[in-house]
Amino acid sequence: MQDFLSLAKDRYSCRRLEGGEINPETLEKILEAGRCAPTAHNKQPFRIWAVRSPEALEKLAAAAPFPFVGSVSCILVIGSSPAEAWVRPFDGKNFADVDATIVATQMMLAIHDLGLRTTWVGHFNADQVKAAFPEMIPFNLIAMFPVGYPAEDARPSVKHPDRKPREETVKEL
């Protein structure tokens, strides 16, 4: 594993993916990276669906308007369960989506670290996905990760290294 800051800077939203089978050991490492993510009060209010059958992949690709979603042999769908989550007592803030986002982020970094690529797909028709996969109905679907190998011409966006000045995003009090 590369040092964390290098990994965080190197990872990018890869929209040029090639299929190819992902070996089971690699997929298991990605799933475990999500499963071991910290969650509020360790409630673990998330689900990860590893979608691999051609029929199921086709249904997911139909719900997202990007060609790269349909070009892979595995799509990970991450959902949160508000009914299972910790709720902050001071203001009623439910941490389900926060927890599932932590899970998803750890998986996204693991995907990159293992030599695969993905992008966080949030632009998809969740109702269409739930109609195709009724087991997802009780969950907030927060992300789809098409997982594949980077195409030979895959590159980060030219804007990838751009960051606002530190003084705009970090405040010390």
Q: What is the pLDDT of residue 73?
A: 94
Give the domain ranges of the chain: 4-150
Tokens of 7: 């990994």
- Structure-model confidence comparison of residues 132 and 1, the more confident one: 132
pLDDT reported for residue 104: 98
pTM of the model: 0.93
Q: Which of 95-99, 148-152, 156-160 has the highest mean pLDDT?
A: 95-99
Write down the pLDDT at residue 2: 56
Secondary structure (3-state) at 48: strand
Give the per-residue pLDDT at 18: 85
Measured in degrees and rounded to the nearest 5, phi and psi for residue 60 equal: -65, -40
Residue 17 in contact with residue 64, Cβ under 8 Å? no
pLDDT tens, 51-103? 999 999 999 999 998 988 989 999 999 999 999 999 999 999 999 999 999 99
Amino acid of residue 13: S
Distance CA 35, CA 95 (A): 16
Question: What average pLDDT does range 119-127 have in this prediction?
Answer: 97
What is the CATH code for 4-150?
3.40.109.10
Contact 67, 19 (CB under 8 A): no
Contacts of 31 (CB under 8 A, 6+ apart): 48, 50, 76, 107
Using 50, 70 and 90 to split pLDDT, how confident is the model at 20? confident
Task: Provide the pLDDT confidence category of residue 42 given band limits of 50, 70 and 90.
Answer: very high
Q: Which amino acid type is present at position 104?
A: A
